[in-house]
Chains A and B, each alone.
Chain A
Amino acid sequence: MHKFQFRPCGNFRTSYQDELAIFNTDFGRLWISIGILLLFGVVPFISSAYILHILNSIGIYAIAAAGLNLLIGYTGQISLCHGAFFGVGAYTAAILLVKGGLPFFLTVPIAGVVSAAVGMVFALPSARLKHLYLCIATLAGQLIIEYVLVHWESLTGGAEGIVIPNTSRFGLDLGSDRAFFYVIFICFILMTWIAVNLTRTKIGRAFVAIRDNDRAAEGMGIPIYPYKLLSFAISSFYAGLAGALYACHMTSITPEHFNLWLSIEYIAMIIIGGLGSIPGSAFGAVFIVTLNEVLNHIPEYLMNIGISTGAELNIAPLQDFFYGLAIVLFIIFQPKGLAEVWRIIRSSFRLWPFSY
């Protein structure tokens, strides 16, 4: 007989299987179900096209950020080429859709696999290196991929990029943002679930072991190099899949979007969201995309209230500044990121109103 648990005052589980559950309480399970229902049943119908577009971006960034968090937050391998892998996925999808004429539902996973393969190629030398050297090797990877995207014109269209005609976006008629919302968020939930599963099994434990003490991990029989490769492959698979969704979402892609600063933006997301926390990656994506949109609207707002004449004020570069500021402030004041803030809020509400 299952007894519903809502407010745990301690650990009263009676079988080891219960300890493996993702949510500690039925309360958590209830909330997440309500959340998913709202997300799929209500949100797409009450949001404007603009909000929907932003939500889609958040979903895409959250997928890629989850992958990067597995690599940096769990395995402890700093990678500066996540943006490039994202780009590889986007280009693979675009080329397959436009030139190969493949259906959408095939291209997305293929893009993920191609990106994972590229990621592994770059990880082959990198994974042997200790973190500082690795960090630099991935920087080289980022710049080399960027170069290839610009200069392999026959395949990538050079600096012009590739335009994906609306009709070829999907095998099925899913052209609108609303339909795409479902595609993105189903992927998002699936990929998040997979990431959480990885972290609660031996794979995730091996990653953390490599991050914390690779010598001891080796002594415990964990092969370091294969696991580092695996971590790179998984993270670039996430990036590639998200990139493919991005290509379809934006309908045109150019190489300059996938530059080093995108990689750094991803790092900003997972730091702000919380290193080593899968939900944190989603928080980070929400934060960065929202910040981005707010900054985009500031000049407009200023113009409306008559402070500036508008035309010459270009606030876009300040985005970088605020990302940077956010990274710096989070590292100094809340290094565990928004995930920790969320945990603190939740636990202070848990025992409400008797919060002593």
Chain B
Amino acid sequence: MANDHKMKAFRGEPSIFTSTRSEESQAELKVKDLTLKFGGITALNKIDLSVHDGELISIIGPNGAGKTSLLNCISGYYKAQEGRISFNGKDITHLSTNHLAKIGIGRTYQNIELFPGMTVLSNMMLARHVHYKYNVGQASLFLKNVRNEEVRHREVLEELIDFLEMQSIRKQLVGGLPYGTRKRVELGCALALQPKLLMLDEPFAGITLEEKEDMVRFLVELNEAWNQTIILVEHNLSIVMSISDRVAVFDFGVKIAEGSPDFVQNHPQVIKAYLGDTS
């Protein structure tokens, strides 16, 4: 057995992903009549949205349309005044952020939220926190099961590091990495949580073309080969239109259109929201 824990140069496909859908990786999100207000401003107005298992849905819209607010509502940072959110048939409207992460909703942030003073590996270990199965007492004595858990999850993380091609920066401090690489590390952290539903908030913002291409490759592989359910919030329309299964368009807190990329591109209200009133 001991040999199994030897370090390897490359591990192939990440074992935490499976191409067959099981009960465990099921992700069905339903948002119903969600209304969020900040004082007098209505950030979200009666939003309905459903995300089906295994699909990549993009949310687009001008600045201030409520895209990020919706993600914040789903991941529990904001509490909506009205409406319900359910995940796999369970009402999650009032769950706390950490609980939501535990039941399988992972996300990245618009302005990278990582731990700059820690290495890439520690960041990912942190992100995998909910999967480590031992308690304080066992940890304080560093019992055998604690060591085994640490080693087991380290292997999983190494697979992810291979997948995201981050081998060379594994032990570097996140704070010292360039912006684009940090975006990738953040994706790694979100994946380390092994989420059923992955929400990405502008993963393509502010990175170079090569980094965008890499990121697209990762997302497409995640979605198509491993059936990862993804919600993507993004401004870059050419990427959105080429990789999404479905696109929802927001404007001023209202969902103005939803459908296939082609449908949305030709929708008059969308054109109006992006290009202004041409009549």
Contact of A194 with B98 at beta-carbon distance under 8 Å, contacts A20-B147, A202-B132 already known: no
Cβ of A263 to closest chain B Cβ, rounded Å: 24
- Please tell me if the beta carbons of A17 and B151 are within 8 angstroms of each other in the complex: yes
- Please tell me if the beta carbons of B115 and A208 are within 8 angstroms of each other in the complex: yes
User: Which B1-24 residues have C-beta < 8 A from chain A?
Assistant: 2, 5-7
Complex CA gap A104/B33 in Å reads: 64
* Tally of contacts, chain A with chain B, CB under 8 A: 109
Among A14, A206, A218, which residue has the most Cβ atoms of chain B within 10 A?
A218
Specify which of A17, A20, A197, A220 is in contact with B129 (CB 8 Å cutoff): A220
- Please tell me if the beta carbons of A216 and B129 are within 8 angstroms of each other in the complex: no
Contact of A201 with B146 at beta-carbon distance under 8 Å, contacts A17-B151, A212-B118, A218-B98 already known: yes
Give the residues in chain A near B122, CB-CB below 8 Å: 205
- Please tell me if the beta carbons of B115 and A213 are within 8 angstroms of each other in the complex: yes
- Please tell me if the beta carbons of A219 and B101 are within 8 angstroms of each other in the complex: yes
Cβ of B258 to closest chain A Cβ, rounded Å: 26
- Please tell me if the beta carbons of A203 and B154 are within 8 angstroms of each other in the complex: no
A183 at the interface (CB under 8 A from B): no
Cβ of A308 to closest chain B Cβ, rounded Å: 49
B130 at the interface (CB under 8 A from A): yes
A31 at the interface (CB under 8 A from B): no
Complex CA gap A216/B155 in Å reads: 23
B229 at the interface (CB under 8 A from A): no
Tell me whether chain A's interface is mostly helix, strand or loop, or mixed: helix
Give the residues in chain B near A328, CB-CB below 8 Å: none
Binds A, one of B133-141, B206-214, B233-241: B133-141
Looking across the interface, which residue of chain B has its beta carbon closest to that of A203? B139
Specify which of A14, A20, A224 is in contact with B98 (CB 8 Å cutoff): A224
Complex CA gap A230/B146 in Å reads: 18
Tell me whether chain B's interface is mostly helix, strand or loop, or mixed: helix
- Please tell me if the beta carbons of A198 and B139 are within 8 angstroms of each other in the complex: yes
Complex CA gap A93/B125 in Å reads: 40
- Please tell me if the beta carbons of B114 and A216 are within 8 angstroms of each other in the complex: yes
A81 at the interface (CB under 8 A from B): no
Complex CA gap A20/B122 in Å reads: 12
Specify which of A13, A197, A198 is in contact with B7 (CB 8 Å cutoff): A13
Among B2, B127, B155, which residue has the most Cβ atoms of chain A within 10 A?
B127
Contact of A230 with B5 at beta-carbon distance under 8 Å, contacts A202-B129, A205-B125 already known: no
Q: Mark A216-247, 1 if CB is under 8 A from B, else 0.
A: 11111111100000100010000000000000
A80 at the interface (CB under 8 A from B): no
B75 at the interface (CB under 8 A from A): yes
Q: How many residues on chain B are close to A (CB under 8 Å)?
A: 42
B169 at the interface (CB under 8 A from A): no
Complex CA gap A281/B86 in Å reads: 48
A209 at the interface (CB under 8 A from B): yes
Give the residues in chain B near A221, CB-CB below 8 Å: 98-99, 101-102, 129-130, 193
B176 at the interface (CB under 8 A from A): no
- Please tell me if the beta carbons of A223 and B140 are within 8 angstroms of each other in the complex: no
- Please tell me if the beta carbons of A16 and B155 are within 8 angstroms of each other in the complex: yes
Contact of A198 with B140 at beta-carbon distance under 8 Å, contacts A13-B7, A15-B6, A205-B129 already known: yes
User: Which B52-101 residues have C-beta < 8 A from chain A?
Assistant: 75, 77, 96-99, 101
Looking across the interface, which residue of chain B has its beta carbon closest to that of A195? B140
A215 at the interface (CB under 8 A from B): yes
- Please tell me if the beta carbons of A194 and B140 are within 8 angstroms of each other in the complex: yes
- Please tell me if the beta carbons of A220 and B127 are within 8 angstroms of each other in the complex: yes
Looking across the interface, which residue of chain B has its beta carbon closest to that of A194? B140
B257 at the interface (CB under 8 A from A): no
B117 at the interface (CB under 8 A from A): yes
Cβ of A221 to closest chain B Cβ, rounded Å: 3
- Please tell me if the beta carbons of A197 and B141 are within 8 angstroms of each other in the complex: yes
Give the residues in chain A near B6, CB-CB below 8 Å: 14-15
Complex CA gap A216/B109 in Å reads: 9
Give the residues in chain B near A16, CB-CB below 8 Å: 5, 7, 150-151, 154-155, 158
Contact of A209 with B115 at beta-carbon distance under 8 Å, contacts A13-B7, A14-B6, A222-B129 already known: yes
- Please tell me if the beta carbons of A205 and B126 are within 8 angstroms of each other in the complex: yes
Give the residues in chain A near B102, CB-CB below 8 Å: 221
Complex CA gap A198/B122 in Å reads: 15
Give the residues in chain B near A222, CB-CB below 8 Å: 98, 126, 129-130
Give the residues in chain B near A17, CB-CB below 8 Å: 5, 147, 151
Specify which of B2, B113, B126, B134 is in contact with A206 (CB 8 Å cutoff): B126
Specify which of A19, A197, A215, A218 is in contact with B140 (CB 8 Å cutoff): A197
- Please tell me if the beta carbons of A201 and B155 are within 8 angstroms of each other in the complex: no
Complex CA gap A210/B101 in Å reads: 16
Contact of A15 with B115 at beta-carbon distance under 8 Å, contacts A201-B139, A219-B101 already known: no
User: Which A3-33 residues have C-beta < 8 A from chain B?
Assistant: 13-17, 19-20
Give the residues in chain B near A230, CB-CB below 8 Å: 136
Complex CA gap A201/B129 in Å reads: 10
B246 at the interface (CB under 8 A from A): no
Cβ of A51 to closest chain B Cβ, rounded Å: 32
Contact of A197 with B142 at beta-carbon distance under 8 Å, contacts A16-B5, A209-B115, A212-B118 already known: yes
Give the residues in chain B near A217, CB-CB below 8 Å: 126
Contact of A213 with B5 at beta-carbon distance under 8 Å, contacts A202-B129, A222-B126, A222-B129 already known: no
Would you list the 5 A-B pairs with minimal beta carbon distance, nearest first? Answer: A221-B101, A216-B113, A221-B130, A201-B139, A197-B142
**Inter-chain pairs besides A15-B6, A197-B140, A219-B107, 15 sampled, C-beta below 8 Å:** A16-B7, A16-B150, A16-B155, A20-B151, A198-B140, A202-B134, A202-B139, A205-B122, A212-B115, A213-B113, A213-B114, A219-B75, A219-B77, A222-B129, A234-B136
A and B contact pairs by CB, cutoff 8 A, 18 listed: A17-B5, A20-B150, A197-B139, A197-B141, A201-B139, A202-B129, A202-B139, A205-B125, A206-B129, A212-B116, A215-B113, A216-B114, A216-B115, A217-B126, A220-B189, A222-B98, A223-B99, A224-B98
